[in-house]
Chains A and B, each alone.
Chain A
Amino acid sequence: MGSAPRHSRDTLEFRPKMAETPPTRPAPEPDEASLEPDAQAYLELRQLILAPEQEALERLHQRVDDPASRTADVGSVVAEAIQLRRKQGGDEALSVALAPTIETALRESVRKDPTTLADALFPVMGPAIRRSILETLRSFLESFNQVLDQSLSAKGLKWRLEALRTGRSFTEVALLHSLVFRVEQVFLIHKKTGLPIGHAVASAVAMQDPSLVSGMLSAIQDFVRDSFHTSQGQGINRMNVGDLDVWIEEGPYAILACVIRGIAPRELRDRMAEVLENVHREYSGQLDQFDGETTPFTKVAEELSRCLEHRYRQEEKTKSFGFVYATAAIVFLLVAGWLGWRAVQYGRWDRLVNTLREQPGFVITSFGREHGKFAVRGLRDPLAADPAQTIHGSNVDPADGEFHWGGYYSLDDGIVEQRAKSILSPPATAILKLKSGVLVVTGAASASWVKDIQSKALLVPGIHSVELSPELNPGRLAFNQAKAQIESSVVKFPVATAALSPAERLALRNLVPSIQSLLQAADSLHQSVTLEVLGHTDSTGAEVANLDLSQRRADRIAWELGQLGVPERALRARGVGTMNPLRTEENEDNRQFNRSGTFRVSAPAP
Chain B
Amino acid sequence: MLQKKICMLGSFAVGKTSLVRRFVESIYSDVYQTTVGVKIDKKNVQINEKQVSLVLWDIYGEDDYQKMRWTYLRGASGYLLVADGTRKATLEKAVSMEQRVRDEVGAIPFVLVINKSDLIRDWELDPALESHLAAQGWCIVRSSAKTGEGVEESFSLLTRKMLG
Contact = CB atoms under 8 A, between A and B. Distances in A.
Interface of A: 190, 192-196, 208-209, 211-212, 214-216, 219-220, 222-223, 225-226, 291-295
A215 B7 CA distance: 12
B40 A293 contact: no
Nearest to B75: A193
Contacts of B65: none
7 contacts: A195-B75, A211-B55, A212-B28, A212-B40, A215-B5, A219-B40, A222-B69
Contacts of A219: 36, 38, 40, 57, 72
Interface in B82-141: none
A292 B5 contact: yes
A222 B40 contact: no
B42 A212 contact: yes
B2 interface: yes
B3 A196 contact: yes
B65 to A, nearest CB: 15
B69 A223 contact: yes
Contacts of B5: 193-195, 215, 292
Nearest to A193: B75
Contacts of B27: 208-209, 212
* Closest 3 pairs between A and B when the two form their complex, measured CB to CB: A193-B75, A215-B40, A192-B75
Contacts of B55: 194-195, 211-212, 214-215
B36 A211 contact: no
Interface of B: 1-5, 27-28, 32, 36-38, 40-42, 53, 55, 57, 69, 71-72, 74-77
Given A208-B27, A216-B40, A222 B72 contact: yes
B57 to A, nearest CB: 7
The listed residue with most A CB atoms (<10 A of its CB), out of B32, B38, B40, B69, is: B40
Contact of A226 (B28, B41, B53, B69): B69
B53 A211 contact: yes
Contact of A223 (B1, B3, B37, B74): B37
A196 B2 CA distance: 11
Nearest to B44: A211
B129 to A, nearest CB: 32
Contacts of B41: 212
B75 A225 contact: no
Contact of B71 (A193, A222, A291): A222
A194 B75 contact: yes
Contacts of A195: 3-5, 55, 75
Contacts of A190: 75
B3 A225 contact: no
A295 B41 CA distance: 22
A226 B69 CA distance: 8
Contacts of B2: 292-294
Contact of B1 (A193, A209, A294): A294
Given A195-B3, A212-B42, 9 more contacts: A211-B3, A212-B28, A212-B55, A219-B36, A220-B36, A223-B69, A226-B69, A291-B77, A293-B3
A196 B40 CA distance: 13
A222 to B, nearest CB: 4
A292 B57 CA distance: 15
Nearest to A209: B42
The listed residue with most A CB atoms (<10 A of its CB), out of B38, B55, B69, B72, is: B55
A215 B6 CA distance: 11
A212 B44 CA distance: 12
A194 B4 CA distance: 10
A212 B74 CA distance: 16
A195 B77 CA distance: 11
B42 A223 contact: no
Contacts of B4: 195, 292
